[in-house]
C-alpha cells in the first residue's frame, strides 16, 4: 500500500520517500506543500478498507555528520569493491575504492538503495578515458567513484546550494579536484551537447521525465544512461519518456522495490 501512495504522491510533486513500521514518510519542499493535494491522493487509493491518517511538519536542515556520529552509522561496502565511510569512522574495511563522505545536509551516503544500485553498475562498467555527467550529484559519491574508476572528465551538477558546497568538500576529501561541480538545474546542461559517454541521474521520476530530453542531448553516439530515484513500477513511465527522445532500455536492477534503469542511445 505504501508503494501505491508513494506513486500517487510522486505525481503530486513529492521528491523522496521512506517507508517505516508506521507507514510512509514523504518529502517535498515547503513552498510546494499543499494539504489538498495530499487529501486528493488519499481519495485515489484503490483500497476500500484502509484508514489513512496524515500529519506534516517542517524539517529544519541538520548537520548529518553529527547525526551519523550520534546514531553510530557504519561504513557501507558496495559490490565487495567499494567502501563508503565518513572521516570519523574507524575500523574501515579494505576495498579497492575507498570513498570518504561527510554528508552534512546532502543526500547520498550510499546507504539508500538507489545510490548503491548505481554504484554497483559503475563498478562493472569500463570508464577509462570516458566523460561522465552526474545530475543531482548530492554528496558527490557517484562523481567521485567515476573519477576513481578512470573517467577522464567528470561533471557533477547539484541544484541545492548546501549540497553543492558539501560536494565540493567531499571531492577535496578524496583528492579529485579535477571533478567539475556546477550549482544549478538541468538548464546547466545547455552547451554540453554530445559531451558525455555516461549520464547519471539519481533524482526522482517527475524530475527525470521532465528533463530527460536535455539529458539525452548530452550523450555522444553509443552513450549510456543510468537513472534511479524511482520505483520498479515507474519503469514504464520513465521508459516511455526515454523512447520519445531516442533512448532505449538496456535493462534494470532493483532492490527494496527501487530500481536503476539502464538506457542507451
Residue range 180-195: mean pLDDT, rounded = 97
Structure confidence by residue, pLDDT tens digits, 70-103: 554 578 899 999 999 888 777 788 999 999 987 6
Structure confidence by residue, pLDDT tens digits, 206-258: 999 999 999 999 999 999 999 999 999 999 999 999 999 999 999 999 999 99
Average pLDDT, the chain: 87
| 257 touches 7 (CB < 8 A) | no
pTM here is 0.77
The CA–CA distances, whole Å, from 230 to 46, 172, 219, 233 equal 20, 30, 22, 8
Residue range 15-31: mean pLDDT, rounded = 77
Residue 215 — φ and ψ, nearest 5°?
-55, -50
Judged by DSSP in three states, 205 sits in helix
Total Cβ atoms within 10 A of residue 118: 26
Structure confidence by residue, pLDDT tens digits, 98-157: 999 876 654 556 678 899 999 999 999 999 999 999 999 999 999 999 999 999 999 999
Task: Give pLDDT, residue 56.
Answer: 86
Which residue ranges form the domains of the chain, and what is each CATH number? 2-43 (no CATH), 117-264 (3.40.50.150)
CA-CA-CA-CA torsion sign (90, 92, 98, 104): negative
Q: What is 105-162 written as a DSSP string?
A: T-S--S-SHHHHHHHHHHHHS--TT-EEEEET-TTSHHHHHHHHTT-SEEEEEESSHH
Task: Give pLDDT, residue 86.
Answer: 82
Task: Give pLDDT, residue 87.
Answer: 81
Amino acid at each position: 500500500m505504501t508503494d501505491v501512495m508513494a506513486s500517487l504522491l510522486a505525481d503530486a510533486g513529492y521528491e523522496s520517500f521512506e517507508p517505516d513500521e508506521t507507514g510512509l514518510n514523504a518529502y517535498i519542499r515547503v513552498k510546494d506543500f499543499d494539504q489538498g493535494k495530499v487529501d486528493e491522493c488519499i481519495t485515489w487509493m484503490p483500497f476500500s478498507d484502509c484508514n489513512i491518517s496524515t500529519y506534516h511538519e517542517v524539517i529544519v536542515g541538520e548537520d548529518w555528520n553529527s547525526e551519523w556520529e550520534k546514531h553510530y552509522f557504519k561504513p557501507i561496502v558496495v559490490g565487495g569493491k567499494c567502501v563508503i565511510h565518513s572521516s570519523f569512522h574507524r575500523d574501515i574495511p579494505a576495498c579497492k575504492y575507498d570513498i570518504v563522505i561527510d554528508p552534512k545536509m546532502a543526500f547520498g551516503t550510499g546507504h539508500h538503495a538507489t545510490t548503491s544500485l548505481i554504484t554497483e553498475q559503475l563498478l562493472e562498467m569500463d570508464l577509462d578515458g570516458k566523460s561522465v555527467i552526474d545530475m543531482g550529484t548530492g554528496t558527490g559519491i557517484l562523481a567521485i567513484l567515476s573519477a576513481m574508476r578512470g573517467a577522464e572528465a567528470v561533471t557533477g551538477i547539484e541544484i541545492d546550494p548546501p549540497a553543492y558546497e558539501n560536494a565540493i568538500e567531499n571531492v577535496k576529501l578524496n583528492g579529485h579536484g579535477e571533478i567539475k561541480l556546477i550549482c544549478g538545474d538541468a538548464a546547466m546542461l545547455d552547451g554540453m551537447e554530445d559531451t558525455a559517454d555516461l549520464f547519471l541521474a539519481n533524482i526522482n521520476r517527475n524530475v527525470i521525465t521532465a528533463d530527460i530530453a536535455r539529458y539525452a542531448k548530452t550523450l555522444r553516439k553509443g552513450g549510456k544512461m543510468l537513472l534511479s530515484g524511482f520505483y520498479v513500477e515507474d519503469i514504464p513511465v520513465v521508459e516511455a519518456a526515454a523512447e520519445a527522445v531516442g533512448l532505449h532500455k538496456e535493462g534494470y536492477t532493483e532492490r527494496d522495490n527501487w530500481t536503476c534503469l539502464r538506457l542507451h542511445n
